[in-house]
Amino acid sequence: MADRLRSRTTATLAGDLVAPHMRLALFLLLAPALLWLLGLIVLPHVDLAVLSLRTRVAPRTYELGFGNYRTFIDEPLYWHTFVRTAVMSIFATVCTLLIAFPAAWYIAKIARGRAKSLLFVMCLIPFWVSETVRTLGWMILLRESGVLPRLLVELGITAKPVELLYHDTTILVGLVYTSMLFMVVPLVSALESLDDSLIEAAYDLGGNGLSILRQIVIPHAAPGIAAGSIIVFMLTLGNYLTPTLLGGKNSLWFTEQIYTQFITRFNWEQGAAFGFLLLFLSTASVWLGLVVTGQKFGDVMRRS
Amino acid sequence: MDQDLEVDRVSKRYNAHLAVNALSFAVPHGSFFSILGPSGCGKTTLLRLIAGFLEPDSGDVRIGGHSMRGVSPNRRPVNMVFQNLALFPMMSVGENVGYGLARRDIASTEIRNRVAAMLKRVGLPGAEGKRVDQLSGGQKQRVAIARSLVLEPTLLLLDEPLGALDLKLREHMKIELKQLQADFGTTFVYITHDQSEALVLSDRVAVMSAGRFEQIGTPQELYYAPHTAFVAGFVGANNRLSGTVQRVDGDIIELHTAQGLALHARCTEHVVAGNEVEAFVRPEVVGLARDAAGLATGTPYYTGRIESLLFDGANSTVLVREQPTNTEFRIALPQTGQFADLRESEMIVFGFDPERAISFRGGNDGR
């Protein structure tokens, strides 16, 4: 009892004496991060929220209301683009997962020593070049007069060069390529923590590859899979460059609608509303994904 | 008797290192067989060869009379209890035990009944719904064994399953393992580096070193009649004394150590005067007395100074320096409490029956 009393007194004393300095130091240390959060994330969003609720009724006269959101619902092009972006993003995420999983498995469980780090670096290498250059690289490969169509003609597969750009598939290829690393990293860390003896035990007890994958590997890697999928989905949904360059004017990506409203149409109010709709879409999708797979957001973020 | 496991001249090589060297042995049905060896002797490799995680370079493993060449682990009538138990943390206890049955396409009601019956037999009735991390170390052990035994394997392999437990629990689980084995009658093959586990649990023990078996025998044979210096040194505590043979008299030899100590020991190998030998004297073979009259007559005796007292209840020993050669002997204290008042640096006499000290040709470790 006396001990506890004494320790409490010391703690209070220490708190009284040290706390003001400590609190100031802590505040100063956190200041850049807090300023960044406040200045670049909170304030613009508050401003955008206010903006999105203003409707232009006449030049320079605005009215508070949900008019911008109603335009979104009334105009099929807008919500078609919205749904299309969501569906394509989900599809791109699934494709990335399917391609990244075997790669991550190989890096985490099969490759050893130098081969392992080499493979990791190979996933990273594309990021040494800016996204614009990477996407332009794809354009050089895929355009009608590009490398791949000419190769197809040379090999006699097609009679004349075909245009490989400006298809939905092209957009998907570009998105998957851009997102690969963000899926591989959380998957590798999730798979590395899986004890090999669990796989051996399951095999020993009569399991085969498929049942082990379904019952041991995937349940164990689930937080990693969820983390990778969330990151990839958000990156894809908010990607502007890849759909625009690889998809051309047919791409119909929602970020392009936002760009158009802000820059081309100079309708900031409408653009702000679209921006909030996109934020809502990504939040809702992630939440739904977590609920459906029974994951907890905290677990998932700790894994990533 | 039926042999559940026959290992026939099996070898396995990792690059230049021969991990298992042309080993042959058989384990009869229903027995508890242990493979005892220091780490790196190849015992884990041998176990993995039997389980099917490794294929032998040469030789054959037969289980229940069938050759296992080319048979994958999930098709062998063998199950393994892993060193870290490898319970599936993503499943409940019931799902863990039922995992193997579910892989055999058995109806779910049947699985539930068998899992319940098995958990009852290992003393965990009604634990199906528990999570693995809710179990204590001993309970996890039992679930791991239940998970394997529910499949009614011909052979259960155990890879040092007690290694991770603390001493008290390990002692308890030793007894429990032996009772489980007697209960189920399944053939157990157990690998360990802990000689006490091997001696307590097994019907027969193989002592392994550098990819080969030094000796296979009952625990008593290994303890009282080791065939090689390695076995004598590895199984049980021993005083190891190397020296040169001076005289051979039947199977009793006289040897002199480098420090000049003369002693007599039994030697079953052929030696002549001048050979290097190693003699092994167990601590409990050496008799202790305050003076020469207290020792059995007819045996040679030595005088020594007590260096330290190592009190450990029934396993208490003293370290004695023989005078004048200063050779160290570890001597067991009789459990009668007769020497409870011994003090350090006291002078005592000790001696042993040469028939109960055993010696081997030295230099090549008896191989």
Instruction: Give the per-residue pLDDT at A8.
Output: 46
User: What tens-digit pLDDT sequence spans chain B (367 residues)?
Assistant: 588 999 999 999 988 889 999 999 999 999 999 999 998 899 999 999 999 999 999 999 999 989 999 899 999 999 999 988 999 999 999 999 999 999 998 999 999 999 999 999 988 999 999 999 999 888 998 999 999 999 999 999 999 988 878 888 888 888 888 998 998 999 999 999 998 899 999 999 999 999 999 999 999 999 999 999 999 989 988 899 999 999 898 888 999 998 889 999 998 888 888 889 999 999 998 988 888 777 777 778 899 999 999 988 888 899 999 988 889 999 998 888 788 888 888 899 999 988 889 999 875 443 3
pLDDT tens string A6-28: 444 444 444 455 577 788 888 88
- Higher per-residue pLDDT: A73 or A6: A73
Q: What's the pLDDT at B158?
A: 94
Q: Supply the pLDDT for residue A17.
A: 52
CB distance B152 to B210 below 8 Å: no
Residues of chain B positioned with their CB less than 8 A from the CB of A211: 103
Distance CA A299, CA A34 (A): 25
Query: Which of A198, A203, A204 lies at the smallest CB-CB distance from B88?
Result: A198
Which of A193, A194, A205, A215 has the most B C-beta neighbours within 10 Å, making it the best mutation to test the interface with B? A205
A193 touches chain B (CB under 8 A): no
Helices A76-105, A67-74: crossing angle, 10 deg rounding: 80
B74–A207 CB contact, under 8 Å: yes
The answer as to CATH 1.10.3720.10 being correct for domain A76-303 is yes
DSSP A218: H
Q: Domains plus CATH for chain B?
A: 3-232 (3.40.50.300), 237-361 (2.40.50.100)
* Pairing assessment for the beta strands B78-81 and B155-159 based on DSSP bridges: parallel
Q: Going edge to edge, which strands form the sheet with B3-14?
A: B17-28, B3-14, B58-63, B66-67
Nearest CA of chain B to the CA of A206: how many Å?
4
**Number of Cβ pairs < 8 A linking chain A and chain B:** 59
A90-144 tens-digit pLDDT: 999 999 999 999 999 999 999 888 999 898 888 888 888 888 898 899 999 998 8
Residues 25-84 of A with CB under 8 A from B: none
Residue A296 has pLDDT above 80, yes or no: no
pLDDT given for residue A303 in this prediction: 58
Burial A110-149 (b: 16+ CB within 10 A, else e): eeeeeebeebbeebeeeeeeebeebbeebeeebbeebeeb
What is the C-alpha separation between B121 and A285, in angstroms, rounded? Answer: 48
ipTM of the complex: 0.82
Cβ-based contacts of B88 with chain A (< 8 Å)? 198, 201-202, 215-216
Contact across the interface for B90 and A219, Cβ inside 8 Å: yes
- Angstrom distances, CA of residue A182 to CA of A65, A77, A101, A278: 39, 31, 12, 21
Distance CA B366, CA B359 (A): 10
How far is B132 from B129, CA to CA, in rounded Å? 9
Interface probe with A: pick from B90, B96, B115, most Cβ of A within 10 Å: B90
Query: For residue B296, what are its two tokens?
Result: 């059995």
Residues from chain A that touch B147, judged by Cβ atoms under 8 A, are 205
pLDDT at A164: 87
B163 contacts on A by Cβ (under 8 Å): none
Every domain of chain A and the residues it spans: 76-303
Q: Is the pLDDT of residue A298 over 90?
A: no
> Rounded to an integer, what distance in angstroms lies between the CA atom of residue B134 and that of residue A19?
41
Q: What is the pLDDT of residue A123?
A: 84
- Residues from chain A that touch B78, judged by Cβ atoms under 8 A, are 204
User: What tokens does A216 get?
Assistant: 């041991």
Q: CA–CA separation, B308 vs B305, rounded Å?
A: 9
Assess contact for B150 and B97: CB atoms under 8 A.
yes
pLDDT interval class at A304 (50, 70, 90)? low
Q: With beta carbons less than 8 A apart as the criterion, state whether A119 and A104 touch.
A: no
pLDDT at A113: 85
Does residue B133 contact residue B90 with C-beta atoms inside 8 Å?
no
Q: For B193, which DSSP code?
A: S
Min CA distance, A242 vs chain B (Å)?
39
What is the rounded distance in angstroms from the CA atom of residue B206 to the CA atom of residue A74? 83
